[in-house]
Amino acid sequence: MPQGNQAILQILPQTDKDTLATGWATATLLPFVSESLQGQVTRYGSSALSRKSQRDVALQRAGTINVSGGVEFEATNHVLHAVLPLAFATTAVDNAAGNSYKRTYTPYVGDAKYASIKVNDSEVTRMHLGMVLAQLSMAAEVDKLATISTTWEGIDVDPQDETNPGGAVPAKLVGLYFEQGRVTIGGTQVSAASFNVQINRNAKTDRFVLGSRRKRDVPVSTYDITGSVMLDANSIGAEKSALFKAALSTGTLDLELDFVDPDNVVDGQPSRFTVRVPYATIDWPEHNISSEDFIEGNVNFTSYAVSAPAPVVAGTTAEDQFSIVHTYAL
């Protein structure tokens, strides 16, 4: 009988949108919390009013297949290594012989990057083809291993019986833990209870054509980057009213989430994971007074300096755009 603790999930990049990835026997098994990937068939029939129920029996058909869903991962070195290159341009300084990596991920303009996702529950394998990472959300909070939530849009799915799917268990598994995380706003380190950032690729999901039940492709568009930071009121630093003033002004703030793990040394330096969100505009902080307790709430933000390859803010460079820098070992 299939059980969740026996399930596996793997992701491999495709060479093109219609060719299933290969190499599953040695592909890394990724630690995931939940998945909701599916192939949902559209059912359609007659729209005439007279004798509709009888007509539906004769005319109903199975229409297009919408392959989509989500996967929530724990933020480990192997998950980040597999997932992030599917959403961003990658600048790599790798020492593959020593299994050490330093990668910078930035927005890019180009065709979607397609991947195959394999899910097995110990009896049935669902092979998802032509999957595009449409949305990605990273959340870090107190007393919790950081998580990566992903939303996918795909082209096809193939269920098949498979009781021994194989795969490689990682020898070195390293996660991003809350006690290693720090949040910086406008250059000042702040005491934050949580930080989350959402990246939306604005994927086109209705690319169907007559004569085919599958999408022809899943193109992506510009990046939308939003998120929030949970703070105590007036905790940004010396200027207590800075967040309120920033919400009312046309100015922007730089936000940064930084994990440093001194217990995991990579080429002489601590393993590090940094998310930088420059030129973020913020909403009015959710620090209105509603009880006798400490005043805390989210500060919601939106970042606009995320287009590639040219910066959209005059006077900025590529380094001023949204970026993720990850130094790690596998």
* CA distance linking residue 35 with residue 291, whole number of Å: 38
Half-sphere exposure of 34 (CA within 13 A, CB side): 5
Say what the pLDDT of residue 92 is.
81
List, for residues 24-63, the tens digit of each pLDDT value: 999 999 999 999 999 999 988 777 766 666 677 778 888 9
* Strands 253-266 and 192-200, bridge-based pairing: unpaired
* pLDDT computed for residue 313 by the predictor: 56
Selection from 165, 195, 156, 159 nearest residue 273 by Cα: 195
Rounded Cα distance between 121 and 117, Å, is 13
List, as one string, the DSSP characters of 34-51: EE--EEEEEEE----STT
What gap in Å lies between CA 149 and CA 70, rounded to an integer?
7
* pTM of the predicted model as reported, rounded to 2 decimal places: 0.89
The residues of the chain scoring below 70 in pLDDT are: 1-5, 49-54, 96-97, 305-320
In this structure, how many other beta carbons lie within 10 angstroms of the beta carbon of residue 53? 7
Task: Please tell me the distance from the alpha carbon of residue 30 to that of residue 135, in angstroms, as a whole number.
Answer: 18
Give the whole-angstrom CA distance, residue 272 versus residue 265. Answer: 9
Spell out where 212-286 has E strands.
224-232, 253-266, 269-282
Q: What is the pLDDT of residue 93?
A: 81
